[in-house]
Chain A
Amino acid sequence: MQITKRVSYERDTKIINAASFTIEREDHTIGNIVRMQLHRDENVLFAGYKLPHPLKYKIIIRIHTTSQSSPMQAYNQAINDLDKELDHLKNAFEAELARHSGSQSRQY
């Protein structure tokens, strides 16, 4: 039983600029991070995630934005920003490791 659609998107009919993203096969690890990054965006009015059931492995992220942006745009922007932050984190970590092991090898 293959899950073909990993991420699906549903617009809210009653509220403008509101949408829910359902992501299969993900849990708090990604949900909490995307929620935190969405909060940092100025155009986002509401951002939250939940696991509908702890035994089922999927999350729902709900985003409301101002009229200046759309939920899809906010979501894409948040994840792209996260990607860049993680890249920077990895480089900083490796640089620090190199510096640390370099200084350690010099001490006898």
Chain B
Amino acid sequence: MEEEKTPKISVWNLPDVPKGKLPAHLELQRTRVICTPDAATNTENIRYSGAYASMGVDNSLRLGHFRDNFRVEVVRLTEDDMEFDMIGIDASLANAFRRILLAELPTMAIEKVLIANNTSVIQDEVLAHRLGLIPLKVDPRMFEYMSENDVPNEKNTIVFKLHSCCERGSSRIKVLSNELQWLPRGSELTVSTEKPAVDPTSRPRTYTSFNCSQDSLPEFSNNPIGPKHDDIIIAKLGPGQEIELEAHAVKGMGKTHAKWSPVATSWYRMLPEVVLLQEIEGEIAEELVKKCPVKVFDIEDIGKGRKRATVARPRSCTLCRECIRPDGKEKEKEQRIYWDKYVALRRVKDHFIFTIESTGALPPEMLFTEAVKILEDKCERVITELS
């Protein structure tokens, strides 16, 4: 009995693999992260320029190619947060921006607290810590850094005063952040010295030496400096307790302490891609639509009462993998479906959805522009300081 023989094709009749383009499965491997029920596979970026040299495909990236393929799309932009897409960049660039937004953008925050009187239940250091974490609504680019040896002056310090007391006989009060008063002329607390003042008419030395009032600068005359939110509770006072202190704010970076981070947080994720490998109709389609907690799938009628499942909102997929988890004990063994034959979850490797939430010092789009400038400065430093 003759077996069915697979047709033999001689080598020179094989269909041509087009030179210069990758076949579909290699293109998939190069540009997509595949998410299986256990873990995500294929996550490395194949950046090596000679990776596909045998196929005749040049994997090296030239500047012109980057320029043609790069795109930015802003999805949402409000005063405090923004969400935008960057298409065509590498994961290391996206991570660099996230790291710079968190740690290397300067802001102003309270650093030194001079406490004159604190009879509340909140300890001095806890109160100082809480004051440091309050976000201030001031553009940090108008100030300079202050180092150890510098004298605090109007170009590197902002001074606030807090004086709150609770009368005997009244109920407990809350000290809110709107009670932090800005002192544009500098500190009012005097430095005590052993020698009595020689000249009684001269002004006593205070902790800061402001040459001119910060009020007179054009940026601050119309918008006074203060905390971003007025209703932050700093402390609670009972009857007879009092807090009197002066706080100095300086410029710093998130690297030193998280209070100087200008973003509440900033994160990115790769664009999810949900692909149906087979036509899913009828009851299985209904089951699939019910499985997804964020309603990625939808039912579409194709006439004669038949229903089919489609992918309606792939962008909102949170990769919970519920749609590819094989059925477990809740069904009988014969009825269990292995869903990963029907649905493929992937992520596009060079499409990043960035979200930036600002704490209020600068609007989020300016934060990102500053982050790009800082990365450019870093690149310049790394090249010019080569001796």
Listed in ascending order, the chain A residues whose CB lies under 8 Å from chain B are 5-9, 21, 23, 26, 28-30, 32-36, 39-42, 44, 72, 75-76, 79-90, 92-94, 96-97, 100-101, 104
Distance in Å: Cβ of B254 to nearest Cβ of chain A: 12
The CA-CA distance from A6 to B48 in the complex, in Å, is 28
Distance in Å: Cβ of B345 to nearest Cβ of chain A: 26
Distance in Å: Cβ of B45 to nearest Cβ of chain A: 8
A97:B74 contact, CB within 8 angstroms? yes
The CA-CA distance from A92 to B72 in the complex, in Å, is 7
Question: What residue in chain B is nearest A80 (Cβ atoms)?
Answer: B383
Known: A5-B387, A7-B385. 19 other contacts (CB 8 A): A5-B385, A7-B386, A30-B96, A32-B92, A35-B92, A36-B92, A36-B93, A40-B60, A42-B50, A84-B63, A86-B379, A88-B63, A89-B86, A89-B89, A90-B369, A90-B372, A94-B369, A96-B72, A96-B73
Question: What residue in chain B is nearest A87 (Cβ atoms)?
Answer: B376
Question: What residue in chain A is nearest B378 (Cβ atoms)?
Answer: A30
A29:B96 contact, CB within 8 angstroms? yes
Distance in Å: Cβ of B62 to nearest Cβ of chain A: 8
The CA-CA distance from A35 to B61 in the complex, in Å, is 13
The CA-CA distance from A82 to B378 in the complex, in Å, is 11
A89:B372 contact, CB within 8 angstroms? yes
The CA-CA distance from A21 to B96 in the complex, in Å, is 20
Q: How many residues of B contact A (CB 8 A)?
A: 43
Can you pick out 7 interface pairs between chain A and chain B where the beta carbons lie within 8 Å of each other? A33-B375, A36-B92, A75-B386, A79-B379, A88-B63, A92-B71, A93-B72
Listed in ascending order, the chain B residues whose CB lies under 8 Å from chain A are 45, 47-50, 60-61, 63, 66-67, 70-74, 77, 84, 86, 89-90, 92-93, 95-96, 99-100, 104, 365, 368-369, 372-373, 375-376, 378-383, 385-387
The CA-CA distance from A88 to B381 in the complex, in Å, is 19
Question: What residue in chain B is nearest A61 (Cβ atoms)?
Answer: B382
Among the listed B90, B373, B382, which residue makes an inter-chain contact with A36, where contact means beta carbons less than 8 Å apart? B90
The CA-CA distance from A93 to B368 in the complex, in Å, is 9
Distance in Å: Cβ of B266 to nearest Cβ of chain A: 14
Question: What residue in chain A is nearest B45 (Cβ atoms)?
Answer: A36
A100:B382 contact, CB within 8 angstroms? no
Distance in Å: Cβ of B126 to nearest Cβ of chain A: 29
Chain A residues near B45 (CB-CB < 8 A): 36
The CA-CA distance from A33 to B383 in the complex, in Å, is 14
B77:A82 contact, CB within 8 angstroms? no
